[in-house]
């Protein structure tokens, strides 16, 4: 059985309105890094909230590590195992000192003080914010705040972290900081689900799932998904800039063995053509 399984799920925020999710099916394996893409309103953030029982399906089931999210007796354990990082880090920072903020979650779990100290230090080192542990959160940059928010989730020792557009409010440097942290989590064996509008972030994932109008439009590894340029454009969705350039070059007769996903791949191909 997959680590996370979403089976035939339907969901609506209002009984009289159209479903936000329409008979959706998703599977996420333990340790996998999955990027979830789609327009605003396509249902991707709703799908993310299903994964830690923030909301429950109207129909169908969501299974997380063999636990049914609809079982109220398991809600606490599910939320301990699946952390959720929101778009605005200010919504997750609760203390006036960084290390106290990171300690907030473990304290509420009843973790012994000695272990809390170890968890806080380890989490801050993982996101490369240990040297700021005595600082006030409001003095940090956006990227640093988001990394502290991630540390607060890590201190609870989840097996999975869901990121709901964590870089949307950040400048390029902040986005790079957060993505480096996400890749570190992946290397440490944590399951990662990333909701993003940035295609250069999605290409770093093991698998990409594209949603539209409450259903899964397509999924596969990044090269498989972003090679479907016509399909994505038909649904007004973007592709990585390197893939976009290659797509335009196809129109003037150039041939590609496979569509490039990043600048380096595109440069390597063009160097070969120019020679």
Q: What does the pLDDT look like over 144-158, one tens digit per residue?
A: 999 999 999 999 999
The two three-digit tokens of residue 12, written as one number: 């609506």
Asked, for residue 253, whether it belongs to a domain, the answer is no
Express each pLDDT in 54-81 by its tens digit: 999 999 999 999 999 999 999 989 988 9
Cα Rg of the chain (Å, integer)? 20
Number of H helices, E strands in the chain: 11, 10
pLDDT for position 123: 93
Is there a contact between 210 and 37 (Cβ–Cβ < 8 Å)?
A: yes
Give the chain's domain count: 1
pLDDT for position 78: 93
Asked, for residue 233, whether it belongs to a domain, the answer is no
pLDDT for position 94: 86
Query: Collapsing DSSP states into helix, strand and coil, what is residue 139?
Result: helix
Helix (H) or strand (E) holding 84: strand 82-85
List, for the chain, all residue ranges whose pLDDT scores fall below the cut of 70.
Answer: 16, 275
Q: Strands of 59-64's sheet, edge to edge?
A: 21-28, 4-11, 59-64, 67-68
The two three-digit tokens of residue 255, written as one number: 């041939």
Asked, for residue 212, whether it belongs to a domain, the answer is yes
Is there a contact between 260 and 242 (Cβ–Cβ < 8 Å)?
A: yes
- Domain containing 189 equals 4-220
pLDDT for position 275: 67
Asked, for residue 94, whether it belongs to a domain, the answer is yes
**pTM attached to this predicted model:** 0.90
Nearest to 217 by CA among 31, 50, 64, 26: 26
CATH classification of the domain holding 176: 3.40.50.300
Unique residue bearing structure tokens 């290659």: 246
Angle at 111 between CA 120 and CA 123, to 5 degrees: 20
Asked, for residue 68, whether it belongs to a domain, the answer is yes
Unique residue bearing structure tokens 């089931």: 61
Asked, for residue 155, whether it belongs to a domain, the answer is yes
pLDDT for position 169: 83
Asked, for residue 264, whether it belongs to a domain, the answer is no
Asked, for residue 122, whether it belongs to a domain, the answer is yes
Unique residue bearing structure tokens 């869901």: 162
């Amino acid at each position: 059985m997959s680590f996370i399984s979403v089976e035939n799920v339907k969901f609506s925020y209002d009984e009289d309105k159209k479903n936000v999710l329409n008979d959706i099916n998703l599977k996420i394996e333990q340790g996998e890094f999955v990027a979830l893409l789609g327009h605003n309103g396509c249902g991707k953030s709703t799908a993310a909230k299903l994964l830690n029982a923030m909301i429950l399906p109207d129909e169908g089931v969501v299974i997380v590590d063999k636990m049914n999210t609809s079982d109220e007796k398991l809600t606490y354990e599910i939320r301990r195992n699946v952390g959720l990082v929101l778009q605005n880090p200010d919504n997750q920072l609760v203390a006036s000192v960084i290390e106290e903020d990171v300690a907030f979650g473990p304290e509420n779990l009843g973790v012994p003080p000695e272990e809390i100290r170890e968890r806080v230090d380890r989490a801050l080192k993982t996101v490369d914010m240990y040297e700021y542990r005595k600082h006030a959160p409001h003095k940090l940059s956006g990227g640093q705040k988001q990394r502290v928010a991630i540390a607060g989730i890590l201190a609870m020792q989840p097996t999975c972290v869901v990121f709901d557009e964590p870089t949307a409010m950040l400048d390029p440097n902040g986005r790079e900081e957060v993505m480096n942290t996400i890749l570190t989590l992946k290397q440490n064996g944590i399951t990662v689900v990333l909701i993003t509008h940035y295609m250069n972030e999605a290409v770093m994932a093991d698998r990409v799932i594209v949603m539209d109008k409450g259903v899964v439009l397509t999924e596969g590894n990044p090269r498989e998904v972003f090679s479907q340029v016509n399909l994505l454009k038909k649904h007004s969705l973007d592709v990585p800039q390197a893939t976009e350039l290659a797509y335009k070059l196809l129109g003037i007769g150039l041939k590609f063995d496979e569509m490039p996903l990043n600048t380096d791949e595109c440069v390597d191909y063009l160097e070969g053509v120019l020679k």
